[in-house]
Amino acid sequence: MHSKEAAGCRLCRYRRVQEKRPDRDCLNGEVTVYLTLTFVLFVSLILALVESASVQMAKNYRRADMNRALECVFAEYQKELLENYDVFAIECGYETGTYTEQNILDRLSYYGADMENEIERIQLFTDNSGELFRDQVGKYMKHKYGIAWADKYLGNVSLWKNQEEKADEFTEEEEKQNDQLKDLLGEQEAELPEEENPMQHVAELKCSPILELVLPKDKTISEKQISLQEMPEKRENHTGYGAFSDVEPEDGTLTSVLLGEYVIDHFTDFTDGPKGGELDYELEYILAGRESDKGNLETVAKKLVMLRFVPNYIYLQTSSTKQAEARAAAGTLCTLLAVPAVTEAAAQGILLAWAYGESVMDVRSLLDGQKAAITKDDTNWQLSLSGLMKLGTDEDTGTGMDVQDGMGYKDYMRMLLFLEGKERMSMRAMGIIEKNMQSIYGQPAFRIDYCAGRMEIRTVCNLRRGIKYQYRTYYGYQ
């Protein structure tokens, strides 16, 4: 009896407990759904990450394909141009004589970048008056000589500019002095005798061809000529497109000095002798830009005479001995006038003429491969007043003095190159390069305005399932 009551009590307690608990089956179902959704989301995330990584990998592969192809295209630089002139360039004509950018796109496809490619921007050597050429030249010269090398020339820059300014000032002074003398003679209704008159003699010399005065007797002048209309400086060139403002060009005084030294290293002048190009006097063409060797040398000789005129006239203004000789000669010319103002003006005119004659002798020395004194004194002055009257005549046998610590022809060419505008210098230098590539180095179809050194390609490629990827790739010679 008691066992039955106990069993009934336990059953009642069990039922009461069951009524208080939640449904276990319901709880287990909620956990399963939650875990399933979490697993689905987690798997989706993993798959999305895998897909993103796969797409990014595909993009990287396409970029790598283009980088490799573009490097291969730029590795096809013009070999003779590098070997002889130390600059890198792709010749877009590929020796066909026809400029077309499709050649570059075809080469990209050949090297594995067979996608939708378009040239977004490209810079040719003749763009912006040779900006790319100057940039490469500056980097090459810095690599070859170092920045410290240029310091010795940078220190002379102000002196070169000052000498050019002084030459212009003295030229104006000479004109004023001649006008003053004419006015004084006009007031006296008189004329100076033509015989034994240094001023008259020098005036006649200035009207004669300069090369007849300064050319050494044993030197001959090249008769080579070119057509200026075929040169890059004068003709219409192919041009690139797209700004490269993100690529800072190197410019300024240092670039001018480096460009001038590059030109001296790579081109010939009168003192070097011919090397078989279209012109023998290449440096003189770069300075003068005329169509013949003779015309270029003549222009440079006139510039040299004016540069040498500066130290010569300065010396005469400080030499009491030379001034006394000039006054004595002026007194002889003005004996009949007896007007002190005329005599003094004539003396200054004689000094100017004397300085010009001495400059002629200096240029003779330079063209003969010798050195001219930087400044003049009694020991290195060459021309007497009597010798001035023989200048340019059959009795003229002077060859010029060689001063060991002076400046040679190339030193003065360095000065003139710096004073020349670097844009003109660049275009003329590239013109000589083009002509020599055609006539000396076996590239008859070569043109400098076909040469590219910087480029950016815009590419559109299909990755998969309609996904398109667009990107740009830049490459330029450094």
Q: Distance between terminal CA atoms of the chain?
A: 110
pLDDT for res 420: 86
Instruction: Say if residue 208 is in the same domain as residue 328.
Output: yes
Q: Please name the residues in contact with 316: beta carbons below 8 A apart, sequence gap of 6 or more.
A: 322, 323, 326, 351, 354, 355
pLDDT digits (tens, 9 = 90+) for 275-297: 888 999 999 999 999 999 999 99
pLDDT for res 1: 47
Q: Is 425 exposed, middle or buried (0-12, 13-18, 19+ CB in 10 A)?
A: buried
pLDDT at 4 over 60: no
Structure tokens given for 32: 């399963």
Q: Where are the alpha helices (DSSP H) in 78-234?
A: 79-85, 102-110, 131-145, 147-154, 157-188, 198-207, 210-214
Q: Please name the residues in contact with 163: beta carbons below 8 A apart, sequence gap of 6 or more.
A: 307, 310, 415
Instruction: Say if residue 31 is in the same domain as residue 154.
Output: no
What is the tally of structural domains in the chain? 2
Instruction: Say if residue 41 is in the same domain as residue 165.
Output: no
Please check whether residue 376 lies inside any domain of the structure: yes
Question: Across the chain, what does the average pLDDT equal?
Answer: 86
More confident residue, 228 or 167: 228
pLDDT at 473 over 90: yes
More confident residue, 158 or 207: 207
Please check whether residue 308 lies inside any domain of the structure: yes
The DSSP secondary-structure symbol of 304 reads H
Question: d(Cα 87, Cα 140) in Å, to the nearest integer?
Answer: 8
Please check whether residue 246 lies inside any domain of the structure: no
Instruction: Say if residue 165 is in the same domain as residue 33.
Output: no
Q: Please name the residues in contact with 134: beta carbons below 8 A apart, sequence gap of 6 or more.
A: 249, 250, 251, 255, 259, 422, 426
Residue 337, classed as helix, strand or coil, is: coil
pLDDT at 17 over 70: no
Question: d(Cα 128, Cα 240) in Å, to the nearest integer?
Answer: 10
Question: d(Cα 478, Cα 262) in Å, to the nearest integer?
Answer: 17
Report the Cα 210 to chain-centroid distance in Å: 30
**How distant, in Å, are the alpha carbons of 62, 372, 379, 380 from that of 383?**
76, 13, 11, 10
Please check whether residue 7 lies inside any domain of the structure: yes
pLDDT digits (tens, 9 = 90+) for 31-71: 788 888 888 888 888 888 887 787 788 888 889 999 999 99
Which residues partner with 468 through β-bridges?
462
Instruction: Say if residue 264 is in the same domain as residue 388.
Output: yes
pLDDT for res 439: 92
pLDDT at 189 over 70: no
**How distant, in Å, are the alpha carbons of 95, 279, 330 from that of 439?**
14, 11, 57
Question: d(Cα 164, Cα 156) in Å, to the nearest integer?
Answer: 12
Q: What's this model's pTM, rounded to 2 decimal places? A: 0.84
CB 137 within 8 A of CB 87: yes
Instruction: Say if residue 289 is in the same domain as residue 410.
Output: yes
Instruction: Say if residue 151 is in the same domain as residue 49.
Output: no
Question: d(Cα 6, Cα 179) in Å, to the nearest integer?
Answer: 151
The DSSP secondary-structure symbol of 470 reads E
Read off the amino acid at residue 253: T
pLDDT digits (tens, 9 = 90+) for 379-431: 999 999 989 999 988 888 888 888 988 899 999 999 899 888 889 999 999 99
Given 3-state DSSP classes, what are the helix, strand and coil percentages for the chain, each rounded to the nearest 5?
60, 10, 30
Instruction: Say if residue 317 is in the same domain as residue 170.
Output: yes
Full domain range(s) for residue 185: 147-238+255-439
pLDDT for res 190: 61
**How distant, in Å, are the alpha carbons of 79, 235, 473 from that of 92?**
13, 19, 18
pLDDT at 11 over 70: no
More confident residue, 87 or 11: 87
pLDDT for res 16: 53
Q: What are phi and psi of 434, to 5 degrees?
A: -60, -45
Q: How confident is the model at residue 462 (pLDDT cuts 50, 70, 90)?
A: confident
% residues pLDDT > 90 (the chain)? 48
Q: How confident is the model at residue 6 (pLDDT cuts 50, 70, 90)?
A: low
The total number of residues written for the chain in this structure: 478
Q: How confident is the model at residue 182 (pLDDT cuts 50, 70, 90)?
A: confident
Instruction: Say if residue 268 is in the same domain as residue 389.
Output: yes
pLDDT digits (tens, 9 = 90+) for 321-359: 999 999 998 888 877 566 677 888 888 889 999 999 999
Q: Is 152 exposed, middle or buried (0-12, 13-18, 19+ CB in 10 A)?
A: exposed
Question: d(Cα 161, Cα 419) in Å, to the nearest integer?
Answer: 7
CB 349 within 8 A of CB 181: yes
Q: What are phi and psi of 446, to 5 degrees?
A: -70, 135
Q: What are phi and psi of 281, to 5 degrees?
A: -100, 80
Please check whether residue 166 lies inside any domain of the structure: yes
Instruction: Say if residue 301 is in the same domain as residue 161.
Output: yes
Phi and psi based region of residue 457 (left: phi greater than 0; alpha: psi -120 to 50; beta: remaining): beta
Question: d(Cα 449, Cα 70) in Å, to the nearest integer?
Answer: 21
Residue 243, classed as helix, strand or coil, is: coil
Question: d(Cα 314, Cα 193) in Å, to the nearest integer?
Answer: 27
